[in-house]
Amino acid sequence: MDSMTDTASSDPLALWREALVRSVRSEAPDLSTRQMAILLAVYTTPPPHTVRGLAAELGVAKPVISRALDTLGALGLLRRKRDERDRRNVLVQRTVRGAVFLSEFRDLVAAARAAAA
Partner DNA sequence: TGAATTCGGTACGCTGGCGTAACGATCGGT
Partner DNA sequence: ACCGATCGTTACGCCAGCGTACCGAATTCA
The residues that touch a second copy, with contacts defined as CB under 8 A, are: 4-5, 7, 9, 11-14, 16-17, 20-21, 23-25, 28, 30-34, 36-37, 40-41, 43-47, 57-60, 99, 102, 105-106, 109-110, 113
Residue 43 contact, options a second copy, DNA, none, Cβ 5-8 Å cut-off depending on partner type: a second copy
Instruction: Count residues near DNA (CB under 7 A).
Output: 27
78 binds, among DNA, a second copy, none (CB under 5 to 8 A by kind): none
The β-bridge partners of 79 are 93
Is there a contact between 41 and 31 (Cβ–Cβ < 8 Å)?
Answer: no
Cα–Cα distance for residue pair 18/114, rounded to 1 Å: 10
Binding region for DNA (CB under 7 A) out of 3-11, 65-73, 95-103, 109-117: 65-73
Using alpha carbons only, give the angle 76, 57, 65 rounded to the nearest 5 degrees. 40
Query: At 10, phi and psi to the nearest 5?
Result: -95, 10
* List 66, 93, 109, 115, residue binding DNA (CB under 7 A): 66
Picking from 39, 47, 52, 54, the residue whose alpha carbon sits closest to that of residue 101 is 39
